[in-house]
Amino acid sequence: MKRGKNYNAASAAIDKAKLYETNEALGLVCELSKAKFDETVEVHVRLGVDSRHADQQVRGAIVLPNGTGKTVRTLVIAKGDKADAATAAGADYVGAEEYIQKIQSENWFDFDVLITSPDMMGLVGRLGKVLGPKGLMPNPKAGTVTPDVAKAVTEAKAGKIEYRLDKTNIIHCPIGKISFGAEKLAENFNTLLGAIIKAKPAAAKGQYIKSCVVASTMGPGLKINSAKIGD
């Protein structure tokens, strides 16, 4: 795969065989970023579990202390007082059947997070086939199926992210923007990794965190010393 000169220069500046300490790695990610936009910094964590087994799933949600740097658009499916509370909390879109219909008939996805109250899951469940592949299906573990939709909206706007295993047993998550600087990115990183460690399934055996890599949108990955995660 052909890479641009900025990527190649950044790649040449890092030691691919080295396991970096968290702060050093994030400092380099910021220093080596040459893109003309504020790149997102992502973490990729490979776990020693098997996602094919239900008792080895790792999934949850966490509010990052410094947010993600992204403006989050929220859709709330609710009625009555819950709909009013969601509107008051700053939800971008609030409604019920009309939004279900809009998604079904118009293929409308102008939102980043879908939140719903438990009593509306029968309605939202009809959208499983279209929401699931996009990672937008609400889930109680992620806090997006909840009686307190207003709190869920506030948390989503504040930088709540969901983490979950993919089919290759890797978790991919954003932890902020290059403009945050290494210190704030490290705070977000440690919060996320702390949550992943806490979510370790009882059925997981052997080494839990196999590898951890941080990278900006356009930059090369740097390997983190997983033995020092949380330091």
Say what angle helices 22-32 and 182-198 make with each other, to 10 degrees. 130
| Per-residue pLDDT, 231 | 39
| Per-residue pLDDT, 229 | 60
Shared domain for 82 and 115, answered yes or no, is yes
Which residue range(s) make up the domain with 108? 74-158
pLDDT band at 157 (very low <50, low <70, confident <90, very high): very high
| Domain CATH for 87 | 3.40.50.790
Q: How many domains does the chain fold into?
A: 2
- Please tell me the distance from the alpha carbon of residue 138 to that of residue 123, in angstroms, as a whole number: 12
Structure tokens at 50: 């098997």
| Domain CATH for 201 | 3.30.190.20
The model's pTM: 0.80
Boundary residue ending a domain (158, 185, 216)? 158
Segment 12-17 shows an average pLDDT of: 80
In 3D space, the residue among 65, 29, 66 whose CA is nearest the CA of residue 44 turns out to be 29
pLDDT at 57 over 80: yes
Shared domain for 110 and 215, answered yes or no, is no
Shared domain for 92 and 80, answered yes or no, is yes
Contacts 24+ apart (CB under 8 A), 138-146: 138/114, 139/59, 141/59, 141/60, 141/61, 142/59, 142/60, 142/61, 143/61, 144/61, 144/113, 144/114, 144/115, 144/116, 145/115, 145/116, 145/117, 145/118, 145/121, 146/115, 146/117, 146/118
- Summary mean pLDDT of the chain: 91
Half-sphere exposure of 45 (CA within 13 A, CB side): 28
pLDDT at 180 over 60: yes
Boundary residue ending a domain (130, 158, 186)? 158
Is 51 or 15 the better-scoring residue by pLDDT?
A: 51
pLDDT at 230 over 70: no
Boundary residue ending a domain (158, 185, 210)? 158
Is 150 or 9 the better-scoring residue by pLDDT?
A: 150
| Per-residue pLDDT, 213 | 95
| Per-residue pLDDT, 2 | 61
| Per-residue pLDDT, 181 | 95
